[in-house]
Structure 1
Amino acid sequence: MLPQEVRSILEEMRSERIKGASWLAMKGAEAYIALADILEGEELENALKEMKTEVPAINRTIASLYNLSRFIPVTGNPEVVRAKAEEFLRLAEEAKSEIGNIGSELIDENEVVITHSFSSAVLEIFRVAKKKGKHFKVILTESAPDYEGIALAGKLEELGVPFEVITDAQLGLFAEKATLALVGADNITSDGAVINKAGTYPLALACHDNGIPFYAAAESFKLHPKLTSGDVEIVERPYARQGYRVRNFLFDVTPWRYVRGVITELGILVPPKEI
């Protein structure tokens, strides 16, 4: 049985709707640190075995949770657990920073970037590009039904980056007005597909038809070492409007052939070969 302090963190992770896979992975690392502060010896070992099931189960579509659970060893030594969790947090921050540096070089002067949903990695690219003095505009979807795009709009406003919010249904209409597409990813499968907020696949198709380069930004801990695109379990969340059930799968699958590259801290990887 996991301590209540740890279960509270896991429950917070389950209930989160906006912040995405990077935040979940880092919050998960904090749960391991909390565990190391409470338990040791055999009790810690048993709890860590339980965490190997509990953490990925928060959302089985998200590769970062699976990789986090593999990164932390099963041991009775709380100092080892704490050190590994802190190492994960440090590497995650370094990865996002490097993605910002690499991805910002894709943004040319007066670029029009279209994006979907909220990605901390994509936001970092925008932040660094702005810091480098580049002038660009962002077209972003509202990203219903959780409206992650509205959260991104608030961040862009803080950065002073000009933006335009569109409804999800207008992805095709506005893709032809863009010069570059950047999205985040919750999972990059072993065969190079991008798993991201539902609506990403239609955006990739629209970009393909209009000759717009489409990139995903993802820390390397979002690359799944085993799952292929056909094996990914896509989570559906209950949703209703005006008394009618509305199908609400959280993610969709964008095949590698529509993806120009995956921006990671290791460089821009070309799927599927370099994944």
Structure 2
Amino acid sequence: MTHVVTCFLRHERDVLLGRRSDAVGTYVGRWAGVSGYVEGDPRDAERDARREVREETGRADATLVRAGDPVELRDGDRTWTVHPFLFEVDSREVTPNEEIATHEWVLPPAIRERETVPGLWAAYEAVAPTVETVATDTVHGSAWLSLRALDVLRDRAAVADEYGVVAAVARDLRTARPSMAAVANRVNRVMSAAERTPASIRAATERVADAARQADGEAATRAADLCGESVVTLSRSGTVRAALERAQPAVLIGESRPAREGADVAAELAHAGLDVTLTTDAALPSELATRDPDTVLVGADAVLADGSVVNKVGTRGLALAAAREGVPVYVVAAAAKVRPDETVHGETGDAADIYDGAAPVSVANPVFDRTPADLVTGVVTERGVLDGDAVRSVAAEHRANAAWDAE
């Protein structure tokens, strides 16, 4: 049995496919991911995967997202064990070697519409986003996760024969992250706009995803104009990061325990040329007081219908400190993050992150907190800075979209 790796490079929502050249020994002319033989212990196939990515695309900076379970397949008298991997890259720049005749970035369902190496779709499914990966991700923000949820819906629609199968996935997705309004709202928007067929749902996911990317980008552009020369933030928000990279202010950022995603953002911003200071979550309010920043800029997992904001725990304390020092607090978020109601869905972290001793200590480890509307200067969206009436109007839109399941 021959062991091989198949690697999918993902940029935004597309994956890289290459047409195999006559320099390879098998499946010449067929489309494939980045692939090659496992030269060592199959249990360490990731090493071979990284080597193949470097050799075939010239990318040494790809970030591993997921390693899937091996896929066994038979093609005539050949038997293959395929070790699938999914990597993320921050651009579409690749330098193919002689094994790739041509390459394209495509939406994953295109795999099913091309002449590919055997089992390519099965390999992709082994590393593709799922309801579970959306539900358990502790690193990414809600805008990013909402696009992954649309990927899950699109992929299921691409293979389903019945509307009910896809609708069941939509129901699971909209409850996968109850604290993140954009996930449910964008799924509901797809289902509300689509006809009751898998093909229509697949097409609707593309329209909604395109609109979502534009909305996130426009919100970031508007927020950049409000940053000033010095900004305080915390946690990971792709929209906040985009705004900061546009505005280029000095940045003070909290580390955001327990995953410390703030540390990752600090490194990314520093690599982008910004003057960045990383501090602990506990020190963030006092550091704000000593630095006299122009703005506090944070993301949101949800904006409630009353104008209050649900975001990574620590946001409320930061907003209180900002109010004490007279610093405006802007929340940047696409309008999709407005919740149709005022329900707060809390998520709780692992108690052992705080205390794992033997004493009978009760642990409160919330992941999110709620910042009252009177502490928020404005909610910056692709539609502009929303006031209370505008937030309620957007909430009504989302309630109407959610009615698809009541029909």
Give the structure 2 partner of residue 133 of structure 1.
none
CA shift for structure 1 position 203: 0.4
Report 1:253-272 matches (<5 A). 253-270=370-387, 272=388
State the percentage of identical aligned residues: 29
Moved more, 156-165 or 245-254: 245-254
Q: Is the 8 A contact 1:51 1:69 kept in 2?
A: no
1:70 aligned counterpart, secondary structure: helix
Inter-CA distance 190–242: structure 2 relative to 1 (3 Å threshold): closer
Give the structure 1 partner of residue 201 of structure 2.
81
What amino acid is the match of 1:145?
P
Moved more, 253-262 or 235-244: 235-244
1:68 aligned counterpart, secondary structure: helix
Q: Is the 8 A contact 1:184 1:218 kept in 2?
A: yes
What amino acid is the match of 2:270?
E
Give the structure 1 partner of residue 348 of structure 2.
236
Inter-CA distance 63–242: structure 2 relative to 1 (3 Å threshold): closer
Q: Is the 8 A contact 1:262 1:268 kept in 2?
A: yes
Q: Which has the higher contact order (CA 8 A, sep 6+)?
A: 1
1:211 aligns with 2:329: no
Give the structure 1 partner of residue 273 of structure 2.
160
Give the structure 1 partner of residue 304 of structure 2.
189
Instruction: Kindly provide the CA deviation profile for residues 4-62 of structure 1, in whole angstroms up to 9, marking residues without a partner as x.
Output: 9499522221221111101110001101110111012xx3x212332243112211111
**Bigger strand fraction:** 2
Give the structure 1 partner of residue 16 of structure 2.
none
- Where do 5+ consecutive residues of structure 2 fail to align? 1-121, 392-407
Report 1:1-275 matches (<5 A). 5=125, 9-40=130-161, 43=162, 45-73=163-191, 75-108=195-228, 111-130=229-248, 136-176=249-289, 177=291, 178-225=293-340, 227-228=341-342, 231-240=343-352, 241=354, 243-244=356-357, 246-270=363-387, 272-275=388-391
Moved more, 152-161 or 210-219: 152-161
CA shift for structure 1 position 175: 1.9
Query: Computing the radius of gyration over CA atoms, which structure comes out larger, 1 or 2?
Result: 2
Give the TM-score normalised by the residue count of structure 2: 0.60
Instruction: Kindly provide the CA deviation profile for residues 178-225 of structure 1, in whole angstroms up to 9, marking residues without a partner as x.
Output: 221000000001110110000000000000011000000001110112
Give the TM-score normalised by the residue count of structure 1: 0.88
1:85 aligned counterpart, secondary structure: helix
Residues matched between the structures, number: 258
- Where do 5+ consecutive residues of structure 1 fail to align? 131-135
Q: Is the 8 A contact 2:180 2:301 kept in 1?
A: yes
Inter-CA distance 35–158: structure 2 relative to 1 (3 Å threshold): same
CA shift for structure 1 position 246: 3.9
CA RMSD of superposed structures (Å): 1.9
